[in-house]
Amino acid sequence: MSQVNLIKVKSASGLVLFTRKNKKKVDRKLELKKFDKNTRKREIFKEVKK
């Protein structure tokens, strides 16, 4: 069975996005640098609980 699951990532401004993470390969919480529509800049999105 695949270990790729949907996770929720949130920026400092409060924008929430969903992405996928392979739980077998990555055991730590994700921090992704993505474009935030609210601030119109690239921000760090941190993994949060669903």
Q: Rounded to whole angstroms, how far apart are CA atoms 23 and 27?
A: 6
**Whole-prediction pTM value?**
0.82
Q: How many CA atoms lie within 13 A of 3 on its CB side?
A: 6
Q: Residue 1 has what pLDDT? A: 62
For 4-48, the fitting CATH number among 3.40.50.80, 2.20.28.120, 1.20.1250.20, 3.40.50.1820 is: 2.20.28.120
pLDDT digits (tens, 9 = 90+) for 6-25: 999 999 999 999 999 998 88
Q: Rounded to whole angstroms, how far apart are CA atoms 43 and 25?
A: 24
% of the chain surpassing 70 pLDDT: 98
Q: Residue 23 has what pLDDT? A: 86
Q: Residue 14 has what pLDDT? A: 95
